[in-house]
Structure 1
Amino acid sequence: MSDKVIRLGGGHLGNPESMGHLAQYLKHFVGRKFIVVSAVPALSAILSGNMATVLQREPEHDVLLTQLLSVHRNITSKEASDAYRQLAEQASGLLKGIALIGDYSRALKDQVLSFSEKLTAEIVKTIWPESQVLLPEQIGLQTTADYGSASFLAANNDYLKSLPAGSFIIPGTYGITENNKIARTGKTSADYTAAFLTRSLGVERLELWDLDFDFQRADPAIINNPEVIKRLTYSEASELAYFDHYSFHPRTVEPLESTHIPIEVLSSASSDGVVETVINTETFIEDQIVKSVACTDDISLLKLDGPGVGLKPGILARVTTQLNKAGINIKSVITSQTSINFILSEENGDKALSLVKGMGFSSVTDISVLKDLSLIGIVGHGMQHAYGVSAKIFTAVANNHINVVISGSGASDLVSYLVVSKSDKEKSVREIYSAFFG
């Protein structure tokens, strides 16, 4: 018996047309259909919002329960099932317990947030009564104990392959540690969950039922109706996943790359399974080289400057170790002989500055953090081997009087970075996009 793995975004549950098309599409396939779901955004917002305030005030049980039940009713127009109601009660009880204790671990936070996917799975079952919910606990979906950013290790393939033909709904984004605790693999990481199951089961492709934000050549909020990118490599897709206007988990490619299993993004506009974007190992270089001009405002720039920065060994290693201990993710590092520049998230800039200032570098004369910046990523394989690509990028910004705070290329054959002021972001994207796509 053959299998199919498809990732369904929680946002589709409120779209009857999309859900109807998916149901029709799945009817064409006889076998086991594993539908991995991400959380309904409203459920995620309710639970994460309560986690953020639980230590300041105890959640009101009846209010929280009403909110969770109303999400079910708004989507399905039906009263919640007993299973859904029990999960909602459990989530509320956990939050109340945390409020009473006055503290919580990362493991307990993951446990609370996992209810957003569990509840979503029960909503899908209400919409498709013939389906069956399979929890990660049931299928032996094992993870590391890196709570909040765990990695998948194994699944009980014998159990999965013993199941009969039918539709099985699996809550995405979490698994079970060696100590039987819930560990999430990241926010909205159902793509990664589905990819791991695809490889574990030996399925020939991973299918994503549409994306909240398609793989387009630029942010559609800046460029009117940019073209959808038809072909991407694993590396290009992962690079784009870090920018705001794409909704693809960057770790999705990890389980699939070694076995060359492709990822297909299917259009939800019909039940025909039309493929919009294919992601695989084939390096397809387009005539203009660049495939996307991506951007994000979620950055700050931590700068370490000094004439001896390039001579003194260990500065970069010490800073990265310190930031790692503090749980601060480094998006990228751009260096010269007199400056080390760490691209961080916007919220981590001040925290990183405080940590690094206390480290005592004799060869660093100035440590600062720059804000109100945007990161522009020009993405496409072949950038380092094609004449004129960098010149075209810098000509586009120079001719339009755009000041580049810092730039970096050469570390990868598929991306060049520009850091500009937020006020110059939209102009930068428009001019670089125009230079390559007319």
Structure 2
Amino acid sequence: MSDNVIRFGGSHIGNQIALQNLKAWLAGSTSRNYVVVSAIPGLLDLIQFNLEQVFQNELNKEKLLNEIYGFYVNNIDEQPSDTYSKLADQLIGLLKGIGLIGDYSRALKDQVYCFAEKLSLEILSSLWKEATVIQPEDIALQVSSDFGNATFLSVDKNKLNKLEDGVFLVPGTYGLAENNKLARTGKTAADYTAAFLTKELGLDALKLWGLDNDFQRAKPVIIENPEIIKRLTYSEASELAYFEHYSFHPRTVEPLEHAHIPIQVLSPKTAKGEVETIINTETYIEKQIVKSVACTDDISLLKLDGPGVGLKPGILAKVTNQLNDAGLNIKSVITSQTSINFILSKENGAKALKLVHKLGFSTVTDIKVVNDLALIGIVGHGMQQAYGVSAKIFAAVANNKINVILSGSGASDLVSYLVVQESDKEKSVREIYNAFFSDK
């Protein structure tokens, strides 16, 4: 039996059914099973909140310690282990030091956030005593020094291949950068970590033990019981990953795509390891073309308007460089001859506006940020080849008096974007979904 790399989400640590089913599925396995673990979401949120507040309020050590201990007690129903207590003390000491210094670097921020996974891993280890913990230091898991968005570079495969059969718990989302500093590969990037290990070990498939939010035709709070998508390409999955109602890291496909290693999303509801969704290089075009209608209202629109915008070279490059240097992510760019539109998160809109104003473009007559918007993504391979898909999308919104503020299609064969008023988000999803799936 071949080895396995399985990503186990932090939200499943407290889910007895998901954990017991994974244990049962791996029981009796005569192979090495690497379970890559992400942080418990609430624990990560707690650490992020306290780091953000450390300059404004004096750290309440006792309160924070009790909150951290609460995650252990709630999951295991006993007092924290010595290892867990030491980790909690180290975290609080680090936060107090940052408060005294009055500032922190990206590297120090990563070091703080890594405690969410270290603590989560100790909780899982206490629940799964038969498993062995492997730290990134143990296997020389090397990453680039792009703190907060690092890239995996190498791992000591010889050490991994010399291990005896069994279950090994590996913290996801971080590795060792220069000078052995810890660098994170993203907020919830355990999928990416697991993908890298899968590729480096030459395994047949990456296995994800369930998703917090399945790959479904639409957001379940908008469409009741949407169907789970059975087959996706790497590109389709990556596109959907940028919408928060899908819990999949966009970089997961990077290590796997060229090696044609599939991703299997396994159901955690039983111990059978049933595949709910498979993601690979095989382009599978469905009858209705569209596979999902995704949405997000976490957007703002940075607009640069002017009659010479399309003629003046370098405007787009200067803006993207400025935002990149400031660590602001651009979700998408939609352009015309008189306007360049950057789709950003809500949080980054106002920050980007200040930065771009400093560039002083003579050919740009108006720079502004538009809020209270929603982005609708209609995803599925074959849009450019299939007659009438775009017409069907626009008819669905036009017939229901939904104003499209901005649209973009043609840049990719697999997605069309609509920007609408935030108040029209759910209505847009329902009408577009009905246009493609009501008569499926």
TM-score, normalised by the number of residues in structure 1: 0.98
Identity of matched residues, %: 66
After superposition, residues 169-318 of structure 1 pair within 5 angstroms as: 169-318=169-318
Residues 142-183 of structure 1, C-alpha deviations (whole Å, 9 max, x = no match)? 000011110100011111111111111111110001210000
Tell me which amino acid in the other structure corresponds to 1:40: I
Partner Cα distance (1:410, 1:219) in 2? 24
Query: Partner residue of 2:407?
Result: 407
TM-superposed deviation, 1:55: 1.6
Partner Cα distance (2:344, 2:245) in 1? 18
Query: Partner residue of 1:10?
Result: 10
Partner Cα distance (2:29, 2:391) in 1? 50
1:357 aligns with 2:357: yes
Unmatched 5+ stretches in structure 2:
none
TM-superposed deviation, 1:426: 0.7
TM-superposed deviation, 1:358: 2.5
Partner Cα distance (1:389, 1:315) in 2? 33
Tell me which amino acid in the other structure corresponds to 2:371: K
TM-superposed deviation, 1:61: 2.4
Partner Cα distance (2:112, 2:353) in 1? 32
Q: Secondary structure at the match of 2:368?
A: strand
TM-superposed deviation, 1:307: 1.4
TM-superposed deviation, 1:60: 2.5
Contact 1:7 1:207 in 2 (8 A): yes
Tell me which amino acid in the other structure corresponds to 1:284: Y
Stretch of structure 1 that moved more, 29-38 or 49-58: 49-58
**Corresponding pairs, count:** 438
Partner Cα distance (1:42, 1:428) in 2? 31
Tell me which amino acid in the other structure corresponds to 1:77: D
Query: Partner residue of 2:327?
Result: 327
TM-superposed deviation, 1:28: 4.8
Partner Cα distance (2:95, 2:2) in 1? 41
Contact 2:233 2:283 in 1 (8 A): yes
In structure 2, the CA distance between the partners of 1:100 and 1:358, relative to structure 1 (3 Å rule), is: closer
Query: Partner residue of 1:371?
Result: 371
TM-superposed deviation, 1:89: 1.4
Partner Cα distance (2:186, 2:61) in 1? 27
Partner Cα distance (1:102, 1:348) in 2? 23
Residues 230-282 of structure 1, C-alpha deviations (whole Å, 9 max, x = no match)? 00000000000000210000000001011011000011110000110000000
Q: Secondary structure at the match of 2:178?
A: coil
TM-score, normalised by the number of residues in structure 2: 0.98
Root-mean-square deviation (CA), in Å? 1.0
Partner Cα distance (1:393, 1:216) in 2? 19
Query: Partner residue of 1:397?
Result: 397
Stretch of structure 1 that moved more, 166-175 or 320-329: 320-329
Partner Cα distance (1:353, 1:88) in 2? 39
Contact 2:331 2:344 in 1 (8 A): yes
Query: Partner residue of 1:121?
Result: 121
Moved beyond 3 Å, runs of 4+ = none
Contact 1:58 1:100 in 2 (8 A): no
Partner Cα distance (1:287, 1:344) in 2? 33
Tell me which amino acid in the other structure corresponds to 2:57: R
TM-superposed deviation, 1:57: 2.5
TM-superposed deviation, 1:291: 0.3
Contact 1:410 1:416 in 2 (8 A): yes
Contact 1:237 1:279 in 2 (8 A): yes
Contact 2:29 2:166 in 1 (8 A): no
Q: Secondary structure at the match of 1:396?
A: helix
Partner Cα distance (1:378, 1:244) in 2? 15
TM-superposed deviation, 1:63: 2.3
Q: Secondary structure at the match of 1:406?
A: strand
Query: Partner residue of 1:166?
Result: 166
Partner Cα distance (1:202, 1:80) in 2? 38
